[in-house]
Amino acid sequence: MVRLALVAAAAALAVCGQPPPAADTPAGAPELPTGVSLPVTDANFTVLYKDTWLVEVHQPALCPVSERLLKTWPAIVEKAAASNRTLRFASIDAWANTATLAVLEVRSLPAIKLIQDGRVYTFKEGFSVPAVLQFVRNGTQTARWYNRLPTSYFTISKLQFDVFVTIQRVQQIAYDAFMDLLLK
């Protein structure tokens, strides 16, 4: 009976989610540097399951707000790192890492998230440096909602992001072609 339940659970997982690889850093793995923002991808998002992270998720093109956030991000990282030595920083390219978007339950782009103790807090205000620093200091109390880091993500939400990214890429190709035409 117990075995049957286990098999059923395993089957359900295979249908609706992809179990992430083990979150443990192998012994002897290099310590992550502090005060710099590292890219995090679908191949290594499980680093976010340990430590406290401030994460930005951006669109690499066609999104002026993402562009502005990327410009202010280095200042945010520098100031936040200076006042909080335990914080780690990550940058996520939304178009290339849709599994990570599903795990973080991204609902709009760009996004800033504070990840602590398996909870993902979503920043809701403008992306100015002081507003984000305030969020870092007090995000766990002021964020309007959080979700728990799931042990597996829903394939359906990754698929939704894949469709979104495909549309964005097509739009970019059309946009580039249009600009080419204009500039000729």
Ligand X SMILES: *[C@@H]1O[C@H](CO)[C@@H](O)[C@H](O)[C@H]1NC(C)=O
Interface residues with ligand X (CB under 6 A) are: 32, 38-41, 43-44, 47, 52, 84, 86-87, 114, 116, 136-142
DSSP 142: H
CB of 117 to ligand X, least distance (A): 9
Q: Which is nearer to ligand X, 108 or 141 (CB)?
A: 141
Q: Which is nearer to ligand X, 8 or 74 (CB)?
A: 74
Of 45 and 127, CB closest to ligand X: 45
For ligand X, which is the closer residue by CB, 33 or 64?
A: 33
**By C-alpha distance, which of 110, 119, 120, 112 is closest to 90?**
112
Measured CA angle at 58 (ends 53, 64), to 5 deg: 140
CB of 128 to ligand X, least distance (A): 15
Q: What is the dihedral of CA 50, 141, 68, 37, to 10 degrees?
A: -20
How far apart are the C-alpha atoms of 80 and 87, rounded to whole Å? 8
Q: Which residues contact 10 (CB under 8 A, 6 or more apart)?
A: none
Q: How far apart are CB 3 and ligand X at their closest, in Å? A: 38
Minimum distance between the CB of residue 9 and ligand X, rounded to whole angstroms? 30
Distance CA 42, CA 53 (A): 16
